[in-house]
């Protein structure tokens, strides 16, 4: 579990689960709430959700892996998002995303082995005039291109070295 995950107590999980007691179709809202708290869905927590709902863990896993919005690994310290809304897609967002996958050596939805970077594609973030757009943490990088990717990541890599 990530730092936040370790502090996600049984009490907090129980509080989420109790809201859905006796409700059919509670699985997705429960998973969404847990992910909102932790940033991802730890396996142990998914097992507890299955116990609570009286379904098989494989069924929870199936839903968690079917929908793109669920993450199965913790976010990196520097979380990178690429907008794939219509304007950004048309302006070359896909190429930016592919360049990031190459540069970070991870695929969308993954976190680097050292826990530094994670990569996600997101829907329109509301600044289409700046397309294509990338975000690192909450900083917006406008009018991105594959050629700007490496340079954009330099401050985060340096910051990380400073922490070592
Ligand atoms: S489509 Fe990317 S900001 Fe709107």
Residue 4 has pLDDT above 60, yes or no: no
Residue 5 has pLDDT above 50, yes or no: no
Q: Give me ligand 1 centre to Cα 52, in Å.
A: 39
d(CA 45, CA 51): 10
Q: Contact, 74 vs 2, CB < 8 A?
A: yes
The SS3 assignment for 152 reads helix
Q: Give me ligand 1 centre to Cα 72, in Å.
A: 26
User: Is the minimum distance from the CB of 96 to ligand 1 under 6 angstroms?
Assistant: no
Average pLDDT of the segment spanning 51-77? 91
Q: Contact, 110 vs 71, CB < 8 A?
A: no
Of ligand 1's listed atoms, the one at least distance from the Cα of 85 is 1
Average pLDDT of the segment spanning 142-155? 97
Of ligand 1's listed atoms, the one at least distance from the Cα of 86 is 1
pLDDT digits (tens, 9 = 90+) for 73-112: 889 999 999 999 999 999 999 999 999 999 999 999 889 9
Residue 3 has pLDDT above 50, yes or no: no
pLDDT band at 159 (very low <50, low <70, confident <90, very high): confident
Q: Which of 108, 131, 139, 121 minimizes the C-alpha distance to 82?
A: 121
Of ligand 1's listed atoms, the one at least distance from the Cα of 133 is 2
pLDDT digits (tens, 9 = 90+) for 118-129: 999 999 999 999
Average pLDDT of the segment spanning 33-46? 91
Q: Give me ligand 1 centre to Cα 123, in Å.
A: 7
Residue 115 has pLDDT above 90, yes or no: yes
Residue 160 has pLDDT above 90, yes or no: no
Residue 51 has pLDDT above 90, yes or no: yes
pLDDT band at 71 (very low <50, low <70, confident <90, very high): confident
Residue 147 has pLDDT above 70, yes or no: yes
Q: Which of 124, 132, 129, 68 minimizes the C-alpha distance to 97?
A: 132
Of ligand 1's listed atoms, the one at least distance from the Cα of 89 is 1
User: Is the minimum distance from the CB of 125 to ligand 1 under 6 angstroms?
Assistant: yes
User: Is the minimum distance from the CB of 82 to ligand 1 under 6 angstroms?
Assistant: no
User: Is the minimum distance from the CB of 95 to ligand 1 under 6 angstroms?
Assistant: no
């Amino acid at each position: 579990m990530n730092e936040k995950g370790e502090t996600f107590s049984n009490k907090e999980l129980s509080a989420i689960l109790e809201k859905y007691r006796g409700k059919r179709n509670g699985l997705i809202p429960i998973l969404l709430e847990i992910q909102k708290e932790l940033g991802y869905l730890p396996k142990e927590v998914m097992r507890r959700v299955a116990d609570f709902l009286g379904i098989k863990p494989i069924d929870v896993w199936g839903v968690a892996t079917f929908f793109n919005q669920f993450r199965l690994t913790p976010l990196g310290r520097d979380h990178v998002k690429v907008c794939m809304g219509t304007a950004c897609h048309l302006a070359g967002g896909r190429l930016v995303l592919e360049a990031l996958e190459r540069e970070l050596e991870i695929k969308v939805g993954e976190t680097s082995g050292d826990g530094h970077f994670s990569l996600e594609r997101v829907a329109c973030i509301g600044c289409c005039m700046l397309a294509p757009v990338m975000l690192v943490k909450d900083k917006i990088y406008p009018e991105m291109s594959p050629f700007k990717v490496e340079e954009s990541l330099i401050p985060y890599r340096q910051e990380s070295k400073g922490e070592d």
